[in-house]
Amino acid sequence: MWQYLTRPTAASRDSSDVSEATPSSTSASSSSTFARLSSYVYDKAADVAFDLAPVEQSLSLLRISAVLVELSHLVYVTHTADVQQQTHVDLPLLGNFSNRRSVACKLLHFREASQDQQIQSPQQYGVWQVEGLGLVVAFRGTSSWDDVFVDINVRPTPLICEEGAMNGTQVHAGFWEGAKQHIEDIKQVVQQQNSQAGRRLPVWITGHSLGGGYANCMMLHLLASKRTADIFSAGGGSVTFGAPMVLYSRHPAQMYKQLHTLQRAAEGRGRKRKLQCHNFVNNADAVPRFLGGSLNAVHQAVENYAPSMSAVRETSQHYMPFGQYHFIHGAQIRTPDPSGSDEAGSPSSHAEYAERVRHQLDARHLPKIAWLTGGRTGGLMDHKMLAYQQRIRHHMDQLAMDHPKNHFSQTLQPENEDQDPAKLFDIAADAHQAAPVHAALLDGVAHKLGSAGKAALSEWAPQVGTAAMAAASNRWSSYWQKAPTNSSA
């Protein structure tokens, strides 16, 4: 609990302008001890309400994510000439917010979105070499009507690997076909950089929104063939922000068993590190919830006026998550127990983990998120690129400040990080601070508050939402019944 006496309060940490809610700007105007203890109780109550306590986060993962989210933003430019050949991202070192390391990102290759009719799903992307991290491929998110058509193409298509179609495992057709257009170009850039470096470099694939869908499908494409899976022989993986689901299956356990085999085969070729697959979801962001059955109530309401949407709803229910998920809920990042993620063993554990993720994405959690953020949330507002940039950076800076350097191993001391930038991103070497001793009394109060909030939001919010949807439906129907009379008059 000690860290709550030296950190921003919940109100300041949940400010709509997260860039101003950093430790450096809030420490000078810190609230009273009572306010900070209230912040502790508030966070603990939220843990109970969500059935998902925050886990110890990896500072290295947040540093990687901070770099990748910046590059995902840069790839939104209109023309190649608008992209700087070299950019820098400042990352915090341990235990001192003012002690930072600037990491250089050099642009190697940039492909503008093409209007060539022979390319079915053109997509803009860039490739950077990041100091200490490796190569980063960043795909642009939705920015044109062509991109919108890719987004809404929810029709699944078989996932093809070298042995043929994976039985029962399918992927989002729009993202899959689009990603296939760029495999050879990306492979050529990676091989060229490996040759110049005299060794294999880790490869990370990233993107925001539609770009995240492309990133996950590109990773699946590369893993599906021995010829391209070698790209990951030095490690890396994918990190997405606000991305829709891309995997489709009516038999999840079988699908995850097949994917587990592909991933372990790729890791075995390099014998280096496990591949990392991470997805960030900011508050009430609607895009990651569009597929997977999370918005069934919305889909059903639309069907009243567009019956063809019933097929979309039926298809969307069978989309499944890929990789590990991190939910940004107010002032915390909450991650379902990773024991059932790609790091676990049995196919059933993968399927169980996927169901936990789908449960957290369910629209019934949206009222809880609105409560947790004081109403400063919204599906489109939370989906903005800027929102992800601010949130990731805020949590990274906070974690660096909350973990004094004497809690870390010698390999992660600030002076070593400064000399070797690769140490900044070394997830395997990340050590965590011992869990603070929580006050039993405060925990008890928080548990009761959270339980009450959970019951209220679970029981009342759906009823209020249903009533509001019915009222809106009645007004809509009434409008269309009156419309012919008005027009004839």
pLDDT in tens, 115-151: 554 445 468 899 999 999 999 999 998 765 455 555 5
The DSSP code sequence of 337-358 is -GGGSTTS-SHHHHHHHHHHHH
Three-state SS letters, 146-184? HHHHHHCCCCEEEEEECCEEEEEEEEEHHHHHHHHCCHH
Tokens coding 55: 């886990």
- Higher pLDDT, residue 204 or 475: 204
Domains along the sequence of the chain with CATH: 54-423 (3.40.50.1820)
Q: How far apart are CA 138 and CA 64, in angstroms?
A: 13
Taking only Cα atoms into account, the Rg of the chain, rounded to an integer number of angstroms, comes to 23
Task: Say if residues 109 and 189 touch (Cβ distance below 8 Å).
Answer: yes
In this structure, the dihedral spanned by the alpha carbons of residues 336, 341, 346 and 347, taken in order and rounded to 10 degrees, is 100
> To the nearest whole percent, how much of the chain has pLDDT over 70?
55
Q: How far apart are CA 437 and CA 1, in angstroms?
A: 6
Q: Which residues, listed in sequence order, are joined to residue 170 by a DSSP beta bridge?
A: 158, 248
Q: How far apart are CA 1 and CA 441, in angstroms?
A: 12
Phi, psi of 101 (to 5 degrees): -125, 130
Per residue in 200-250, pLDDT (tens digit) is 999 999 999 999 999 999 999 998 888 888 888 888 999 999 999 999 888
Q: Which segments of 271-365 does DSSP mark as H helices, in order?
A: 296-303, 309-316, 347-361
User: What pLDDT, on a 0 to 100 scale, did the predictor assign at position 453?
Assistant: 56
Q: How far apart are CA 263 and CA 220, in angstroms?
A: 9
User: What pLDDT, on a 0 to 100 scale, did the predictor assign at position 415?
Assistant: 43
Kindly indicate the confidence band of residue 164, based on its pLDDT and cuts at 50, 70 and 90.
low
Report which residue type is found at 246: V
Q: 305 in helix, strand or coil? A: coil
Q: Which residues, listed in sequence order, are joined to residue 319 by a DSSP beta bridge?
A: 248
Task: Find the angle CA(479)-CA(483)-CA(486) to the nearest 5 degrees.
Answer: 130
Task: Say if residues 58 and 427 touch (Cβ distance below 8 Å).
Answer: yes
User: What pLDDT, on a 0 to 100 scale, did the predictor assign at position 413?
Assistant: 43
Task: Find the angle CA(181)-CA(380)-CA(450) to the nearest 5 degrees.
Answer: 120
User: What pLDDT, on a 0 to 100 scale, did the predictor assign at position 485?
Assistant: 47
Pick from 377, 375, 397, 293: nearest CA to 327: 377
User: What pLDDT, on a 0 to 100 scale, did the predictor assign at position 123?
Assistant: 81
Report which residue type is found at 254: Q
Q: How far apart are CA 26 and CA 34, in angstroms?
A: 16
Instruction: For residue 120, give every residue at least 6 positions away whose Cβ sits within 8 Å of its Cβ, in sequence order, or none.
Output: 177, 178, 181
